Chain A
Amino acid sequence: MIVDFKHHQSAHCENGVASNLLINQGLPISEPMAFGLGSGLFYVYLPFVKVNHAPAISYRPLPGLIFNRLAKRLGLKVKRIKFSNRVKAQQVLEQKIAEGIPCGLQVGVYHLPYFPEEYRFHFNAHNLVVYGKEGDNFLVSDPVMEITTTLTPAELERVRFAQGAFAPKGQIYYPIELPQSIDWEVAIRKAIKKTCTDMLAPVPIVGVKGMRMVARAIVKWPKKVGVPKANHYLAQMVRMQEEIGTGGGGFRFIYAAFLQEAGNKIGNTRLIDLSKEMTTIGDSWRDFAVNAARVYKKRKNGEDVYIALSKELMSLADREEQFFKKLKRAI
């Protein structure tokens, strides 16, 4: 059983799966469009949650939210099923494939055999598509990979029932009802409004305020936890920012691509201008990552380097605050 499925590589797994599933259903949505309409840009600092023994910073909303919001704005329905029984989870998946429905799956990354060692952590909110079965093996379209791969039933079961935070519980999802017509202007306006509200939220750990809180914390880390640990925190911050789902610069560029596409689609030139500004902010995020990694590499640092990093992040927060205020007015 092989469902006709065209694989497109993407920068981020959840947008990628959303875009791939919809394209294959005959609704052409690019990855940036999926990311933008799903209001995927986010920032939250969770100092009380430790990931890899460092405070957690997330650059995206909770897993599944991007696709759900996208579905809501486009007026399509998504069916999600979670399982407690492993055998049943496999049966339902096979049945769906037999019906000709490619399914999105939430999986854990750690046991994915085709991932390089450096990427294998207990991160359970990865997404991929299963679109067929060849012999015993499942055909897998992992959006962050260039080409499709296969997984044995045992391997697939292992990643579907990974444990820990955000345990996927064998979750599968697929669109069941496509909209007749889409009001792009309303969808885009609502999606952008949501992102602006999120990033400007009056909550100390969220959006630009969250960035400022991290910026203040960076100065305190060396005194509070010692230089080696402070550097470890910085390294983990950069990792979460630039690697797991490309949160900092990477996300800014996808969002800028969305603004460009959206501006062209609904004929709003201000969005296209703002897209350019977002690109330069994304470049600064990458510079920030370069500098933070440099501090880590040098190991022995004076207090001034942490202050410099903190200032850099503060200025990013200021620029994004101005940016999202402008964006709010532009639509």
Chain B
Amino acid sequence: MKESEVPQDKSSLKENDIKELCYAVNDDGEYVTALSSGWETKTIVQEATLSQIEERIREAKQQVSDGIYSPIVYFMEVNRMDMQTLCAYVSMWKWRVKRHFKPSVYNKLNDKVLQRYADAFGITVVELKAFTGKE
């Protein structure tokens, strides 16, 4: 990549006034550093990822509302976690967390266990309990 070809596209970086450093070749063939405000290709895949996350959140919300899953599934998606990450944050085995996905099991959980989930999601137990997926 030549120094003059370093992309200066519109991106989330630009909105946040952040620039990224890259390495490029100057006219004398020497490597120099240059700042980039963003690259369209990257923006496309970032937007793809974000829209996919939103899709998953919407789906989870619907499933909570329909009584298929407990609110834990919804907040897991909101916090962009996968199973492994959530298990690590609440320090529970996977099978236990999976059981808590069932509304019938979830409804019987005590506040001590719910607190662990609330801490992982950065919310209060009251907020966790209040979520029904319906608005």
Contact = CB atoms under 8 A, between A and B. Distances in A.
Contacts of A282: 1
Interface stretch (A75-83, A185-193, A232-240): A232-240
Interface in B15-61: 15-16, 18-25, 29-31, 33, 35, 39, 41-42, 44-46, 48-50, 52
Contacts of B79: 110
A175 B46 CA distance: 36
B41 A293 contact: yes
A146 B19 contact: yes
Interface string A242-261: 11001001100110110011
A286 interface: yes
Interface of A is mostly: helix
A117 B84 contact: no
Nearest to B11: A118
Q: How large is the interface on B (under 10, 10 to 19, 20 to 34, 35 or more residues)?
A: 35 or more
B135 interface: no
B89 interface: yes
B81 A122 contact: yes
Contacts, number: 108
Interface in A106-141: 110, 116-122
B53 to A, nearest CB: 9
B98 interface: no
A290 B41 contact: yes
A196 interface: no
Interface stretch (A58-66, A160-168, A205-213, A320-328): A160-168
Contacts of B15: 116
A5 interface: no
Contacts of B81: 122, 164
Contacts of A253: 1, 22-24, 31
B88 interface: yes
B13 interface: yes
A34 to B, nearest CB: 13
Contacts of A52: 49, 82
A145 interface: yes
A120 B12 CA distance: 12
B10 interface: no
A144 B21 CA distance: 7
B129 interface: no
Interface of A: 9-11, 32, 50, 52-53, 110, 116-122, 144-146, 163-165, 167, 232, 235-236, 238-239, 242-243, 246, 249-250, 253-254, 256-257, 260-261, 275-276, 279, 282-283, 286, 289-290, 293, 296-297
Interface of B: 1, 12-13, 15-16, 18-25, 29-31, 33, 35, 39, 41-42, 44-46, 48-50, 52, 79-82, 84-85, 88-89
22 contacts: A11-B20, A32-B31, A116-B12, A116-B15, A116-B18, A117-B12, A118-B12, A118-B49, A119-B12, A165-B84, A236-B49, A239-B46, A242-B39, A242-B41, A243-B45, A253-B31, A254-B23, A260-B30, A260-B31, A286-B1, A293-B45, A296-B45
Chain A to chain B: the 3 pairs with minimum beta-carbon distance, closest first: A163-B88, A257-B31, A164-B85
Given A239-B42, A254-B23, 13 more contacts: A9-B33, A11-B22, A50-B82, A52-B49, A116-B12, A119-B12, A145-B18, A146-B35, A164-B81, A242-B45, A257-B31, A289-B41, A297-B44
